[in-house]
Chains A and B, each alone.
Chain A
Amino acid sequence: MDLSSINPALLIASLMVSATPILLAALGELVVEKTGVLNLGVEGMMITGAICGFAIGVNTGSPVLGFMFAAMSGALLSLAFGILTQYLLSNQVATGLGLTLVGLGLSSLIGKPYEGIKSPTLQKMELPILSDIPIVGPMLFSHDPMVYFSVALVAATWAVLKYTRAGLILRAVGESHDAAHALGYKVVRIRILAILFGGACAGLAGAYISLVRVPQWTEGMTAGAGWIALAIVVFASWKPWRVLIGAYLFGGVTVLQLNLQAAGAKVPIEVLSMSPYLITIAVLVIISARGNHGAPAALGKIFHASQ
């Protein structure tokens, strides 16, 4: 095995790229769950975003338009979930699972003509001055805009939840929808908005895979990333910065094991392939085992403003 072939700077740079879709999807789901809604359709919204973003990107030649359309398509799909669960009071778990199945089917239908095509991709955005720093520059400050956007979104989500009145109301709705309703807050409207945000984030996450990371379309290319995002939200105890840690950890181990495979490590490939999942779960279990889980108290409960 030749470990010297693994370049740490390159490793970290590629782990950020590899973690970005999971980070975006998990962050969206975190906001949704903070309002007390459990949307298990992340995988379906991601893959729909992936194909819609890819199709628009290929046809217009503009990845930016692709991302915008992917966010809209994810939001649109999540709106179906929102109407079913918030207005028609359907079961959130079943509806979310259904959403995943719809998304997978829809995406392979739309995606048939696009197989084997290469899409235009985002240009790297070298941050002035910062990207000139040796080692750290190429590692952290020489990425495409979506990587910076995702980290900025973590900071923004954290600040909004912690310091603003909107964030306080959002958390309150997730803690007790009855109390929030009694105080005059529009529970259903707030939840719909959060669901739309979650859908848009998942759509962006999917498009990042098909437009930047791979960049081409294959059926089922999200390969369970949506489920990992859901797990990361839980193990991160619904805290934005912990979601970032979880996503980067998963991304990091994924990249590392690929590098190890390439370097010819004397470990069965199967073990290497499953290691990102195992290590992410192990670390997050250790973090969350220290108590203070912080699950929103009304998570998954159906709200109806009767009485």
Chain B
Amino acid sequence: MSDPLLRLSGLTKAYPGVVANSDVSFDIHAGEVHALLGENGAGKSTLVKMIYGLVKPDTGRMTLNSAPFAPSAPSAARLSGVAMVFQHFSLFDALNVAENIALGMENAPKQRDLAAKIKEVSNQYGLPLDPYMRVGDLSAGERQRVEIIRCLLQNPKLLIMDEPTSVLTPQEVEILFKTLRQLKAEGTAILYISHKLEEIRSLCDTATILRLGQKVATCTPADTSAKELAEMMVGETLHVPERATGAFGDVILDVKDLSLRAPTEFGTALKNVTFKVRAREILGIGGVAGNGQDELLGALSGEVSSNNTVSLRGSDISKLGPQQRRALGVLAAPEERLGHAAVPDMSLSENALLSAAVRKDMMRFGFVNWGKAKLYAEHVINEFDVRTPGAGNAARSLSGGNLQKFVIGREVLQYPDVLIVNQPTWGVDASAAAAIRQSLMDLAEKGAALVVISQDLDELMEISDHFAALNEGRLSSIRPVQGLNVEEIGLMMGGVHDSMEGAA
């Protein structure tokens, strides 16, 4: 094989108390799509930041086209032909597309010339964009286009993509893959970071797997099964969630004609959402972010009251607030971990108290029983394998995956009759995600009714019994998961379920 485009040899980076990367070496060739796999905390992002010049390695060296490569800043990396599409944090909502793109370029041309160039390149790669749109008004898929176009305008030799598909619909993923294959054919190397193993198997030529900062394997993903890849990442045999499917019980949660106005300018109105969930049933609700997921969770948890729409075992609860619903056994875990599900600056004990005070009897005559709250927090920490020094630590100090385990565990261990969760495994690594899914299934097995809202379709297919999709605040028809294929799901998410029903 020819000389590699980028060679990493012996890269090591240590932070106080943790070695993020230890002696990592591999090659990336021109025209290759190279996957970088690993759990959260395996050192993927540190490695990528070293290539992009955001972090300096302690030891080790890189060569780009056989010349030494040690970017001191992202601008130096960009000038050498390395571009990066971030998972988040790199667009400015209040600025327009052209301004956003100019900020990520060295020697950006004048606005008018740049706008023309954006139009040209975006059409060439099948990602049409209006340069004068405000980025805050774009959808998740369009925002990603902005980032990709920003990179492409600089004719990169190496394009780094960090979890690019986590916010896209299956159709948008197809468009993205087409673009990436076109780039690959033109000789651009792509370093592709993702949790989604099936995507990597279909797109990538080579995969490097990191675990605890070290490279554990390099393989050809097409010849390796997703299970094998996952086990290399985790370093142990992966337990695939399982459940015995029994008969469903009586209807527990009944939602009829739920319509709500959009809570804010950027929110989504709910329109005639109707569904029933029975005991031992898991209803999976898919859909692209921002189609009413948060609003639906709010209406079910009691944050927003409605009129005669939500009933629990036949009695109307739609006027009750969250605490009253909790007392009746309706619990919820919202998507946003910091600030919605948990108070960032409060300890885990305090956060446990906030949701479990009623059901776990932590209040007496208006006084808090801190002993009980701490015991319960510790119970959650043990049962859900939350990695933290203790229940006295602030929620903010936990990593995303660990806090997610705590937030879900806190609700599951209260043994609710109805549990509503939104994005239960967002940003959580494979083994922790499997544990969370297993706990949800076990809870259903014990007779609870579950509503799982998620953008991860694989997850919904794995755990739910029935599937429906939210599109612009409308719920599609509800279909059994058995026998549902990706095209049908994509159409349900796109909001064309009505015509499909007619055809069926």
How many Å from the CB of B482 to the closest CB on chain A? 42
The 8 A CB mask of A178-197 against B (1 = contact, 0 = none) is: 11101111000000000000
A122 to chain B, nearest CB (A): 39
Selected contact of A182 from candidates B86, B93, B99, CB within 8 Å: B86
> Interface stretch among A23-31, A82-90, A168-176?
A168-176
B86 contacts A176, C-beta separation under 8 Å: no
Nearest CB in chain B to that of A184: its residue: B74
- A262-298 toward B: CB 8 Å interface, digit per residue (1/0)? 0000000000000000000000000000000010110
Extra A-B contacts (17), CB below 8 Å, given A168-B95, A184-B78, A296-B94: A172-B92, A172-B99, A172-B103, A175-B92, A175-B94, A176-B89, A176-B91, A176-B92, A179-B91, A182-B54, A182-B90, A183-B103, A184-B53, A184-B54, A184-B74, A185-B103, A297-B93
A179 to B89, CA, bound (A): 5
Q: Write the A83-116 contact mask toward B (1 if CB under 8 angstroms, else 0).
A: 0000000000000000000000000000000000
Q: Is the CB of B221 closer than 8 A to any CB of chain A?
A: no
Quick one: closest A residue to B77, CB to CB?
A: A184
**B102 neighbours in A (Cβ, 8 Å):** 165, 168
The one of B90, B93, B99 in contact with A183, judged by C-beta atoms closer than 8 angstroms, is B90
Q: Which residues of A contact B116 (CB under 8 A)?
A: none
Decide if B173 is an interface residue (CB 8 Å cutoff). no
- Which of A171, A175, A180 gathers the greatest number of chain B CB atoms within 10 Å? A175
- List chain B residues, Cβ under 8 A from A182: 54, 74, 86, 89-90
- CB-based contact A176/B93 at 8 Å: yes
- CB < 8 Å: which of A165, A171, A178 contacts B95? A171
Interface string of B430-453 (1 = CB under 8 A from A): 000000000000000000000000
Assembled-state Cα–Cα distance A165/B105 (Å): 11
Residues of chain A within 8 A of B93, CB atoms compared = 175-176, 297
Chain B residues with CB below 8 A from A294, complex form? 94
> Is B104 interfacial (CB 8 A cutoff)?
yes
Q: In the assembly, what is the distance between CA of A180 and CA of B104, in Å?
A: 9
**B73 A172 Cβ-Cβ under 8 A:** no
User: In the assembly, what is the distance between CA of A184 and CA of B91, in Å?
Assistant: 13
Whether A168 touches B99, Cβ cut-off 8 Å, given contacts A182-B54, A183-B74, is yes
B103-A169 in contact (CB<8A): yes
Closest residue of chain A to B150 (Cβ to Cβ) is A183
Shortest Cβ distance from B474 into chain A, in angstroms? 29
Chain B residue at minimum C-beta to C-beta distance from A177: B89
Q: How far is the CA of A296 from the CA of B93 in the complex (A)?
A: 10
| Complex CA distance for A197 and B94, rounded to whole angstroms | 24
Q: Please tell me which one of the listed residues A165, A179, A184 contacts residue B92 in the complex, with CB atoms under 8 A apart.
A: A179
Shortest distance from the beta carbon of A193 to any chain B beta carbon, whole Å:
17
A residues whose Cβ falls under 8 Å from a Cβ of B: 165, 168-169, 171-172, 175-176, 178-180, 182-185, 294, 296-297
Cα A179 to Cα B108 in complex, Å, equals: 18
Interface set of B (CB-CB < 8 Å, partner A): 53-54, 73-75, 78, 86, 89-95, 99, 102-104, 108
A298 to chain B, nearest CB (A): 10
Is the pair B90, A179 in contact by a Cβ cutoff of 8 Å? yes
Chain B contacts for A179, CB-based, 8 A: 89-92
Chain B residues, Cβ within 8 Å of A175: 92-95
Asked whether, in the complex, the Cβ of B94 is within 8 Å of the Cβ of A183, the reply is: no
Q: What is the minimal beta-carbon distance from A171 to any residue of chain B, in angstroms?
A: 7
Instruction: State A179–B411 Cα separation when bound (angstroms).
Output: 34
Provide 14 A-B residue pairs closer than 8 Å at the C-beta atoms, listed in order of the A residue: A172-B95, A175-B94, A179-B89, A179-B90, A179-B91, A180-B92, A182-B54, A182-B90, A183-B90, A183-B103, A184-B53, A184-B74, A184-B75, A294-B94
Docked pose: A178 CA to B54 CA in angstroms = 13
Q: Are A184 and B89 in contact (CB under 8 A)?
A: no
Closest to A294 in B: B94
Query: Chain A nearest CB: distance from B398 CB in Å?
Result: 14
CA distance in complex: A297, B53 (Å)? 26
A183 to B76, CA, bound (A): 11
User: Given that A172-B103, A182-B54 are known contacts, is A165 also in contact with B108, CB under 8 Å in the complex?
Assistant: yes
Q: How near does chain B come to A295, taking the closest CB pair, in angstroms? A: 9
CA distance A182 to B48 in the complex (A): 12
Residue of A nearest to B76 (CB): A184
A176-B89, A178-B89 given; A183·B104 CB < 8 A = yes
CA distance A183 to B73 in the complex (A): 9
Can you name the residue of chain B whose Cβ is closest to the Cβ of A305?
Answer: B54
Question: Which residues of B lie under 8 Å from residue A168 when comparing CB positions?
Answer: 95, 99, 102-103
Contact B95 A184 (CB under 8 A): no
Rounded to whole angstroms, the CA-CA distance of A169 and B73 in the bound complex is 16
With A and B bound together, what is the CA distance between A152 and B95 in angstroms? Answer: 26
Residues of chain A within 8 A of B53, CB atoms compared:
184
What chain B residues lie within 8 Å of A178 (beta carbons)?
89
Task: List residues of chain B with CB within 8 A of the CB of A297.
Answer: 93-94
A172 to B100, CA, bound (A): 8
Interface centre among A169, A176, A297 (most CB of B within 10 A): A176
Give Cα distance in the complex from A171 to B104, angstroms.
14
Q: How far is the CA of A176 from the CA of B93 in the complex (A)?
A: 8
- CA of A182 to CA of B49, assembled, Å: 9
Give bound CA distance, A294 to B92, whole Å.
Answer: 13
Q: Which residues of A contact B99 (CB under 8 A)?
A: 168, 172
Task: Kindly list the 7 A-B residue pairs having the minimum CB-CB distance in the complex, ordered from nearest.
Answer: A184-B74, A175-B92, A178-B89, A179-B90, A182-B90, A184-B73, A175-B94
In the bound assembly, the distance between CA atoms of A153 and B94 in angstroms comes to 25
In angstroms, Cα B414 to Cα A13, docked, is 73
How many angstroms between the C-alpha atoms of A279 and B90 in the bound complex?
41
Distance between Cα atoms of A33 and B90 in the complex (Å)? 20
